Structure 1
Amino acid sequence: MKPIVVDASAIINSFNLLNFGQKFITTPAVLDEVRGKKRNEKIRLALDLDSVEQRLAKNEFIEKVRLAAKQTNDMLSKQDEELIALALEHNAEIATDDYGIQNVAAKIGLVIIAVGEKGIKEILEWQHYCPACWKNYPTSGVCGVCGTPLKRKVRQTSGLLPSSFHSEAKK
């Protein structure tokens, strides 16, 4: 059975962390975030029983995630990068409702478990542009020509993801 990397949305949305025999992994930052939001007894019990292992990803896997995020032009937080890197490092599935995490994870070839929302259907590559003068940019920010805040639009899609990229959430 593959391990499952869980983000805060998976834990907060009551993803079944009491599935004994299943290995769950997350970062210390995620556990710090959800400790203040222990909304029900199931979450409290999972955290008290240490059924979720805390790990930090190795830099080589974080670099692979950054490269994939650069290819899709997704803006990920350090915590998001770390979660995807953990899944890559441990050949794990990743449970999240965050579309940016799902997009980059799918680009790398990881299996996604959408927890409360429907998961992504295809990998998107984003383009940043100025809505005033239409100049394209490789990253977000402001237009170098007119100073307008940049927006983003889909530049390209990969086509539909095969069903093997999605797994059902077990609540």
Structure 2
Amino acid sequence: MKYVLDTSAILSGKDIPLDEDMYVPSGVLTEISEGGRWHRKLEMMRSAGLTEMSPPGNLMDRVRGHASKTGDDIRLSETDIEVIALAIHVEGTILTDDYSIQNLAKSMGVEFKGIAQEEIDEQWEWEYRCEKCHRWLKEPKDECPRCGGEVKSARLVR
């Protein structure tokens, strides 16, 4: 089995299967501070065969495009996008407790497993709604173009 690790998998403190093929994008490595206990865990995982790899740019673009369609784009970091793209590239399962990563992975047909928390069981899409006039918007805005009211994100279950 191939696994792609998100930062949350390393920071969970839970055991990760070291006898499997494990991959991590460089963005995850930069999110873990040097010298701390999590960095030591990361170094142990590297010595057990953790492979650092960057996903191809075309897969990064594909994931970004899909995130834009579901509304997850404002919730995901570039590292999160890397994790999903790398999982597609190596045909692996993502290990993550990040619900936004899980949501987009699910909508793209990418396998994932939670580490310290249960996986999501519903898939969400995000839209934006004016608190004042209740108009629905597809794109995030600071204020409603119709009435100037505050716009908040709203979750839609698919």
Task: Identify the TM-score tier after normalising by the shorter chain.
Answer: 0.7 to 0.9
**Aligned-pair distance for 1:112?**
1.2
**Aligned-pair distance for 1:101?**
0.5
Q: Deviations over 1:95-118 (max 9, x none)?
A: 111111000000111111111111
**Aligned-pair distance for 1:144?**
2.0
Unaligned runs of 5+ in 1: 158-171
Report if aligned partners of 2:7, 2:28 keep a CA contact under 8 Å in 1: yes
| Matching residue within 25, 43, 47 for 1:27 | 25
Unaligned runs of 5+ in 2: none
**Aligned-pair distance for 1:15?**
4.2
Q: Deviations over 1:27-50 (max 9, x none)?
A: 112112224342486444224x16
Please show how residues 1-171 of structure 1 align to structure 2 within 5 Å. Answer: 1=1, 3-17=2-16, 19-20=18-19, 22-36=20-34, 37-39=36-38, 42-47=41-46, 49=47, 51-74=49-72, 75=74, 76-142=76-142, 143-157=144-158
Letter in 2 for 1:144: P
Rounded to whole Å, the distance in 2 between the matches of 1:59 and 1:14 is 31
Rounded to whole Å, the distance in 2 between the matches of 1:34 and 1:127 is 32
Letter in 2 for 1:67: G
Rounded to whole Å, the distance in 2 between the matches of 1:120 and 1:105 is 11
RMSD after superposition: 2.0
Counting matched residue pairs gives: 154
Q: Deviations over 1:39-75 (max 9, x none)?
A: 486444224x162211111111112212221222112
User: Do the aligned partners of residues 58 and 149 (structure 1) sit closer, same or farther apart at CA in structure 2, a change above 3 Å counting?
Assistant: farther
1:122 partner SS: coil
Return the TM-score normalized by structure 1. Answer: 0.80
Report if aligned partners of 2:33, 2:39 keep a CA contact under 8 Å in 1: no
Q: Taking every aligned residue pair, what percent have the same amino acid on both sides? A: 28
Letter in 1 for 2:89: E
Return the TM-score normalized by structure 2. Answer: 0.86
Larger deviation, residues 78-87 vs 36-45: 36-45
1:34 partner SS: coil
2:32 partner SS: helix
**Aligned-pair distance for 1:79?**
1.2
Rounded to whole Å, the distance in 2 between the matches of 1:86 and 1:155 is 27
Rounded to whole Å, the distance in 1 between the matches of 2:39 and 2:78 is 28
